[in-house]
Amino acid sequence: MDFLEEIERRRTFGIISHPDAGKTTLTEKLLLFGGAIQEAGAVKNNKIKKGATSDFMEIERQRGISVATSVLAFNYKGIKINILDTPGHKDFAEDTFRTLTAVDSVIVVIDAAKGVEEQTVKLVEVCRMRKIPIIVFINKLDREGKDAFDLLDEVEQKLNLKVVPLSFPIGMGYDFKGIYNIWEKKLNLFSGDIKQTVSDGVEFNDINNPELDKVIGEKWANDLREELELIEEVYPSFNKEEYLKAELQPVFFGSALNNFGVKELLDCFIEIAPSPQPKMSDTRLVDSKENKFTGFVFKIHANMDPKHRDRLAFVKVVSGIFKRNTNYLHVKKGKKLKFSSPNAFFAEKKEIVDESFPGDIVGLHDTGNFKIGDTLTEGEILEFKGIPSFSPEHFRYVNNADPMKSKQLAKGLDQLMDEGVAQLFTLDINGRKVIGTVGALQFEVIQYRLEHEYGATCSYENLNVHKACWVEPEYENSEEFKEFKRVKQRYLAKDKMGQLVFLADSAFTIQMTQEKYPHVKLHFVSEFK
């Protein structure tokens, strides 16, 4: 297969939703249909009987939520699919926002009973801003939920999308009979007793065929005919070009837990979803079909395998072919690196690959060379844009609970901070360590991982900080900057890169400081240089 064919057969997408809408379950079922796993792990009541394949960190199995993006790849009908399953919880949204820089399209999962929820609104806004094509999957139809048309209205209004239903439910909850697949003109019947198998679908090219009354009953058949007529009048017909431009969003209905509506979603997805797209760098637009390799790091994960203390940088291939044992330029550091065992992913399972194509995600063993946002090329000096960095909103002192393990604590903090889950500050005045995170739940995850992955225990103390401001003086040796450092010394710290940071206790303090020291600039993200 030649280079262009390899690109055309790739689909890289993210699955996003509010927590508990069934995102991880949907990921499992896509893998099941792709033949990548034989049996799905049911995620129920936050007690995981069999761990979901994509939730491979121990804490995820215990809490029943995803706290890190996981990468899964499989082949389906000759198409290579790369799924990035993201955390839904808002405290881990930073990971999700970064992951959205590495996908070409997304599937948004919505709970039929709860409708559109707060976290979904924020994530879809990011997708709209970036013009990422979206498919909506309305999940949990086997439970009592909102009316299908009400759900479509809610998706249009709250998410500001232009929807077109490509499948439609017949009944819901106890009365759930099945789904009419508008895309393929097929009827799929639901049998609640055999939950893990799905009928192949009965073809109904003519919805007025009296056979339909026999299959689902006269009342349901008449209701379906009326609803399909209404859909035709109210909603636009599907247009692939508009979908790819993110101007139109197809909607599917189903129940991921019962494998229902998932195959329809997958079959349509591989037909309409975009292959790897061009990406903007700081100097030019890089086309995926270019021969020279470029890629960027969108995630770093320490201890993928706790036994080996390995640290992996996740690289999205943007153009060209990434080859094993080849020298590539680390643009920021200006040095050449070679990788002898690049990995392809299947949740925590990894296999060494000789070459990877645009759209693929490669895991590179990292000894501390990479930071999130770093670019690799064959020599061209360019950097990919739009990888967000967030200013922390929660701050706590971190104390070593076991003086015998201070080395392990230092190493653990060092590696976990590189993942971008939090930021570490060292106070100038007394050398105390402060952790800043975007979400409060991150503290729990850090504490858990320090103990279970590094054998270090820590405790936290609250600290009254409103915002971390990175300090950039116009003149290093000016009297104004010296006075700023003397007056504010109790609140000054260094970040992991040794940059000066002012830990301000309120918005008022920031305002007063900016007025008093106009030549000392304060930035709310660290990448100002």
pLDDT at 204: 65
| Cα dist from 373 to 287, 297, 450, whole Å | 18, 5, 25
Same domain, 265 and 287: no
Strands 433-437 and 394-400: antiparallel
437, 413: one domain: yes
Q: What is the mean pLDDT of residues 247-265?
A: 88
Q: What CATH number is associated with residue 496?
A: 3.30.70.3280
* Whether residue 362 sits in one domain with residue 499: no
CATH of the domain at 30: 3.40.50.300
Let me know whether 483 and 431 are in one domain.
yes
- Indicate whether 84 and 152 sit together in one domain: yes
Q: 382 and 331 in contact (C-beta within 8 Å)?
A: yes
Domain shared by 398 and 372, yes or no: no
Residue 509 lies inside a defined structural domain of this protein: yes
Three-class SS state of 434: strand
Residues 249 and 314 in one domain: no
Q: Residues in the chain, how many?
A: 529
- Same-domain status, 263 and 341: no
Lowest mean pLDDT among 80-94, 253-267, 505-519: 80-94
Give a yes or no: residue 305 inside a domain: yes
Q: Is residue 230 part of a domain?
A: no
Per the domain annotation, does 102 fall within a domain? yes
For 169-221, write each residue's pLDDT tens digit. Answer: 888 777 888 888 888 888 877 765 544 444 555 666 667 777 777 777 888 88
At 389-432, the pLDDT tens digits run: 667 888 999 999 888 888 888 888 887 787 777 889 999 999 99
Asked whether residue 160 falls in the same domain as residue 308, the answer is no
Is the predicted pLDDT of residue 59 greater than 60, yes or no? no
- The residue among 354 and 301 whose pLDDT is bigger is 354
Tokens of 523: 């930035």
Same domain, 243 and 373: no
Residue 204 lies in a domain: no
Residue 198 per-residue DSSP state: -
If asked whether residues 265 and 357 sit together in one domain, one would say no
| Cβ contacts of 487 within 8 Å, gap of 6 or more | none
Among residues 220, 250, 272, which one ends one of the domains? 272
Percent of the chain with pLDDT over 70: 83
179 has which bridge partners?
Answer: 169, 188
Query: For the chain, what is the domain count?
Result: 3
Residue 383 lies in a domain: no
Residue 308 in domain: yes
Amino acid (1-letter code) at residue 425: F
Give the pLDDT confidence score for residue 9 in this predicted structure: 92
Same domain, yes or no: 480 and 411: yes
Q: Does the pLDDT value for residue 49 go beyond 70?
A: no
Cβ burial, residue 117 (10 Å; 0-12/13-18/19+): middle
Give a yes or no: residue 187 inside a domain. Answer: no
Mean local confidence (pLDDT), 67-80: 76
| The two three-digit tokens of residue 289, written as one number | 């079909």
Convert the pLDDT of each residue in 102-121 to its tens digit.
Answer: 899 999 999 998 988 887 88
Whole-number percent of the chain with pLDDT over 90: 31
The confidence score (pLDDT) of residue 201 equals 56
**Is the confidence at residue 247, as pLDDT, over 70?**
yes
Report DSSP state, residue 475.
S
Q: What distance, in Å, lies between the first and last C-alpha atoms of the chain?
A: 43
HSE on the CB side for 180, CA within 13 Å? 24
pLDDT score for 90: 55
What is the average pLDDT value for the chain, to the nearest integer?
81
C-alpha separations of 246 from 128, 249, 384, 389, 426 in Å:
7, 7, 22, 25, 44
Confidence of residue 65 (pLDDT cuts 50, 70, 90): very low
Domain holding 356, by residue range, is: 279-377
pLDDT in tens, 108-158: 999 998 988 887 888 888 888 889 999 999 998 888 888 899 999 999 999
Show which of 346, 377, 408 is a domain's final residue: 377
Q: Report the pLDDT value the prediction gives residue 397, as an integer from 0 to 100.
A: 92
pTM score of the predicted model: 0.76
For 491, which DSSP code?
Answer: G
pLDDT on residue 132: 92
Domain C-terminal end among 244, 272, 300 = 272
C-alpha–C-alpha distance, residues 439 and 422, integer Å? 9
